[in-house]
Amino acid sequence: MFYSGKYMYIGTSGSRKTGERAWLISPMLRSTSFTEKCLQFGYSMNGLSIGIISVYMTANGEKPGSLLWRMSGDQGMEWKGASVNLSSLEQYQVFVY
């Protein structure tokens, strides 16, 4: 698997408390019109204390938005890839947490 671009690391060891969350929130994005977009990303979820990673999309700031993808628990040492289709006739945001 090869991805180009940027990455974000969120440590889950050390002084973390149960229930803490990290959020990645996109800026408001233009509608996809009638053409779907695709969000591709890699993730590594290794260890007993690993929680959940979720991807949501919300149109025009409506909460909570639509769940597009979710993974939970120990997924092993390897990096894995995932992708979700994004389609909205209105402005939208993507939330990863």
Segments making up each domain of the chain, as ranges: 24-96
Average pLDDT value for residue range 12-22: 73
Q: pLDDT of 57-90, one tens digit each? A: 999 777 778 999 999 999 999 999 999 999 999 9
pLDDT for res 12: 64
Please determine, for residue 1, whether its predicted confidence score (pLDDT) is greater than 60: no
Contacts by residues 59-62 (CB-CB < 8 Å, ≥ 24 positions apart): 59/88, 59/90, 59/91, 59/92, 60/90, 60/91, 60/92, 61/28, 61/93
Q: Is the pLDDT of residue 3 over 70?
A: no
Which architecture does CATH list for 24-96? Sandwich (2.60)
56: confidence class by pLDDT, cuts 50, 70, 90: very high
Average pLDDT of the chain to the nearest whole number:
87
